[in-house]
Structure 1
Amino acid sequence: MEGLARSAAWLCAELDSSADPRLLILDCRPRNSYEACRVQRAISVAIPTLLLRRLHRGQLSVPALICSTKDRECFTQRCTSHTILLYDDGGQSWVGEEEDLSRLPSSPEEHVLPILLKTLKQDGCNAYYLKGKWHIF
């Protein structure tokens, strides 16, 4: 299985590759953190616990979690054709060496990013997470 992690160097290369890289970046941190500072072109997907539980149970789609109409439309149009990269403040200590989806936490109370990553993968998206904490980028 191809690894689920992508490095900061990989992200830099993707962003520098063209004016419009085939990349969707999802910021899984709280909205106030997103507003203060974020990766260029990132879309905020700050998710309250209730909505995260609904997503985990399959009662909600990923686009429904995106607040901005413009960003939601962008995501919907590109989610199957573009690579999706997720990041948060956690550093992803929950991923084992194999970076296997089965090793991701399944409880919505544990982390937003792994639940979202699992859902995107199950939906057939080409999704990964940023290795290490986002600010290393």
Structure 2
Amino acid sequence: MTNVTPSKSVEWLQLELESGGGASLLLLDCRSHELYESSHIETAINLAIPGLMLRRFRKGSIPIRTIIPNHEDKEKFIRRCKTDTVVLYDECTLDWQQDGGASPSVLGLLLQKLWEDGCKAYYLEDEARSKQCGILVHCLAGISRSVTVTVAYLMQRLNLSLNDAYDFVKRKKSNISPNFNFMGQLLDFERTLGLHSPCDNRSTSEEQLFFTTPTNHNVFQLDRLEST
């Protein structure tokens, strides 16, 4: 295990990309292929691992390059992984090392393998969650684009159906009105997440979430959801 702090901040990454330093960065997006296709950092390589390959990878029987599906990306990884700074991220980076290190996450396994291979590898911090602070989600009017992002986050983070996430946000801000195109994208996202309006929407997480908009100065602490 490396002794170097294995994380990089979002601010650091943004500065690197804006200053041209991104040319020496190798970004590995460890989310599912569907999430990667919907949005990802430009130049990032998708490193989603199918179940069968994951079992073989955990046993150490296959190298990382084997699990990169795209031939061009695989060549890029082989050419640059030992010379560039490697930054990994997924949708739950805060939990990169689970159970006190006894059972690392997929991202944790990738980090360990990269370190063993002599690569300079880091994970991208989920700073808001790690510091338990609120996030301002804003757009011009605070009723469509920002609401769509907030609803999508609640669907993914709390495993809520579109209807439940939408109703929850609407209880906090009654004038929300995402346009039809955004609602269609949220329906597609719901199918991607495999959500089917569960009867019990209680979150098992103890973390506190916050919601606010630029149309007022209030910050609402999200209540723990009760069974419906």
Indicate the structure whose relative CO is greater, using CA pairs within 8 Å and at least 6 residues apart: 1
Give 1 or 2: higher helix fraction. 2
Check the 8 A contact 1:105/1:115 in 2, yes or no.
no
TM-score normalised per structure 1:
0.82
**Pairs within 5 Å for 1:38-57:** 38-57=40-59
Shift of 1:106: 3.1
Shift of 1:19: 7.0
The corresponding residue for 2:69 is 67
**Pairs within 5 Å for 1:1-137:** 1-18=3-20, 21-95=23-97, 103-106=100-103, 111-132=105-126
Runs of 4+ in 1 over 4 A off after TM superposition: none
Shift of 1:112: 1.6
Gaps of 5+ in 1: 97-102
What CA RMSD, in Å, does the superposition of the two structures yield over aligned residues? 2.3
Shift of 1:94: 4.6
Distance 2:70 2:21 in 1: 22
Q: 1:12 to 1:67 in 2, by over 3 A?
A: same
TM-score normalised per structure 2:
0.51
Distance 2:63 2:96 in 1: 24
Q: Answer with 72-81 or 14-23: which moved more.
A: 14-23
Distance 1:106 1:22 in 2: 31
Check the 8 A contact 1:105/1:114 in 2, yes or no.
no
Equivalent pairs: percent with the same residue?
Answer: 39
Q: Answer with 69-78 or 44-53: which moved more.
A: 44-53
Gaps of 5+ in 2: 128-134, 136-228
Whose radius of gyration is greater, 1 or 2?
Answer: 2
Q: 1:105 to 1:66 in 2, by over 3 A?
A: farther
Partner amino acid, structure 2, of 1:119? K
Partner amino acid, structure 2, of 1:114? G
Distance 1:95 1:41 in 2: 26
